């Protein structure tokens, strides 16, 4: 965002006074003013309302600096609670339109800008659009131009704990993909080796699947390869967390096809990918990731987002 004249000097001075820095999801407990500076003597630029969530980026005493309506503003922290386990979306393009609804047919309310972070929750969005708060109301930005980030109080996924009593973490051999587009054949290779005991090379599976740098491998072809080489009746189905757990309990790892930007262990990088779910805990799943390594852990919410907001496809045994 560009600043003009005296206002630019004022904002730069105030930013230097913010001695603490964070990226924290702040939920308003009532209607609260948003001001140009950290004090009641500064002008009011808008309001946040009960239940709305904004991202705090710095503090000055009891005041929080937040991203607000394409810029920043200051609001008193006593009217907010920090949300733990929270995530946001960070703008990755120079200028991104904010719309009144989840399509380009809705009116433009304003813009957000490169590097700004806004709160998002999966339960309040319509893929590929993310709902944010804008001018005291709900608004939407397009998911192709943002990336997921963790907010203070949430943090990255914890190291995977030992599987709780009564759950399963299968002893599945992990293989790394031999190049950057063999995730599908490698995922099939992992499942085939475990289910049938037979080893097939990634190039063999890739040739069967028609994998190429331009097209990669579809989830349907991964499923076909598993069935062909392992003689196992895997089906292509939409995501179902309980069905994944049932597969694991019945000694059957499952292929998933997902978007990496929803996963903490991927650093929220934007990439399409295949890997194998082979275990679970009370709060998430173990993944043999064909690129990142074995026994990566993703929370149940992360994995749901990663699969559903990609093509919503998995390959499961039953």
- CATH number for the domain formed by residue range(s) 1-155: 2.30.30.40
Q: How far apart are CA 239 and CA 89, in angstroms?
A: 23
Q: Tens digits of per-residue pLDDT, 43-76?
A: 999 999 988 888 888 888 889 998 898 888 999 9
* 133 band by pLDDT with thresholds 50, 70 and 90: confident
Q: How far apart are CA 232 and CA 247, in angstroms?
A: 13
| pTM summary value | 0.53
pLDDT of residue 181: 93
Measure the CA dihedral 39/45/49/54, to 10°. Answer: -80
Return the percentage of the chain with pLDDT > 70, whole number. Answer: 86
Q: How far apart are CA 286 and CA 7, in angstroms?
A: 51
Q: How far apart are CA 175 and CA 6, in angstroms?
A: 59
Predicted confidence (pLDDT) at residue 165 exceeds the cutoff of 70: no
pLDDT of residue 262: 82
Which token pair is 217?
A: 């491998």
Q: Tens digits of per-residue pLDDT, 201-231?
A: 999 999 999 999 988 999 999 999 999 999 9
Phi, psi angles (nearest 5°) of residue 253: -65, 160
Which token pair is 299?
A: 């929370």
Q: Tens digits of per-residue pLDDT, 272-302?
A: 999 999 999 877 899 999 999 999 988 888 8
Q: What is the mean pLDDT of the chain?
A: 83
Distances in whole angstroms, Cα of residue 294 to Cα of each of 95, 161, 258, 275, 278? 38, 15, 17, 10, 10
H or E segment to which residue 193 belongs: helix 183-196
Structure-model confidence comparison of residues 76 and 115, the more confident one: 76
Name the architecture of domain 183-316.
Alpha-Beta Complex (3.90)
pLDDT of residue 156: 38
Predicted confidence (pLDDT) at residue 13 exceeds the cutoff of 60: no
pLDDT of residue 257: 94
pLDDT of residue 150: 74
pLDDT of residue 1: 22
Highest-confidence segment of 6-20, 110-124, 161-175: 110-124
Structure-model confidence comparison of residues 32 and 163, the more confident one: 32
pLDDT of residue 9: 30
Residue in the structure block whose two tokens are 């980030």: 149
* 118 band by pLDDT with thresholds 50, 70 and 90: confident
The domain spans of the chain are: 1-155, 183-316
Question: Do strands 87-91 and 80-82 pair parallel, antiparallel, or not at all (unpaired)?
Answer: unpaired
* 3 band by pLDDT with thresholds 50, 70 and 90: very low
Predicted confidence (pLDDT) at residue 255 exceeds the cutoff of 80: yes
Which token pair is 228?
A: 């062909």
Predicted confidence (pLDDT) at residue 260 exceeds the cutoff of 60: yes
Q: How many CB atoms lie within 10 A of CB 252?
A: 19
* 125 band by pLDDT with thresholds 50, 70 and 90: low
Question: In sequence order, what are the residues at sequence separation of 6 or more whose Cβ sits closer than 8 angstroms to the Cβ of residue 159?
Answer: 297
* 167 band by pLDDT with thresholds 50, 70 and 90: low
H or E segment to which residue 185 belongs: helix 183-196
């Amino acid at each position: 965002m560009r600043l003009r004249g005296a206002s630019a000097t004022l904002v730069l001075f105030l930013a230097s006074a913010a001695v603490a820095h964070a990226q924290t999801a702040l939920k308003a407990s009532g209607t609260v003013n948003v001001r140009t500076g950290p004090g009641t003597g500064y002008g009011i630029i808008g309001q946040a309302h009960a239940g709305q969530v904004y991202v705090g980026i710095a503090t000055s005493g009891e005041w929080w600096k937040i991203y607000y309506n394409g810029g920043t503003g200051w609001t008193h922290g006593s009217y907010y609670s920090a949300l733990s386990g929270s995530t946001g979306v960070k703008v990755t393009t120079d200028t991104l339109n904010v719309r009144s609804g989840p399509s380009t047919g809705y009116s433009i309310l304003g813009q957000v800008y490169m590097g700004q972070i806004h709160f998002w929750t999966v339960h309040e969005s319509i893929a590929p659009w993310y709902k944010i708060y804008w001018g005291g109301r709900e608004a939407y930005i397009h998911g192709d131009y943002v990336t997921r980030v963790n907010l203070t109080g949430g943090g990255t996924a914890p190291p995977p704990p030992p599987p709780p009593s009564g759950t399963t973490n299968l002893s599945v051999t992990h293989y790394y993909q031999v190049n950057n587009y063999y995730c599908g054949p490698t995922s099939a290779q992992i499942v085939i080796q475990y289910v049938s005991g037979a080893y097939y090379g990634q190039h063999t599976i890739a040739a069967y699947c028609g994998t190429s740098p331009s097209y990669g491998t579809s989830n349907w072809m991964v499923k076909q390869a598993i069935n062909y080489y392992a003689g196992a009746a895997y089906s292509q189905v939409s995501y179902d967390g309980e069905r994944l757990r049932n597969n694991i309990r019945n000694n059957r790892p499952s292929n998933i096809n997902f978007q990496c930007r929803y996963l903490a262990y991927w650093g929220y990088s934007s990439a399409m990918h295949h890997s194998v779910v082979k275990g679970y805990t009370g709060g998430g799943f173990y993944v043999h990731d064909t690129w990142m390594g074995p026994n990566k852990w993703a929370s149940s919410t992360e994995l749901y987002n990663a699969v559903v907001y990609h093509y919503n496809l998995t390959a499961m045994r039953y």
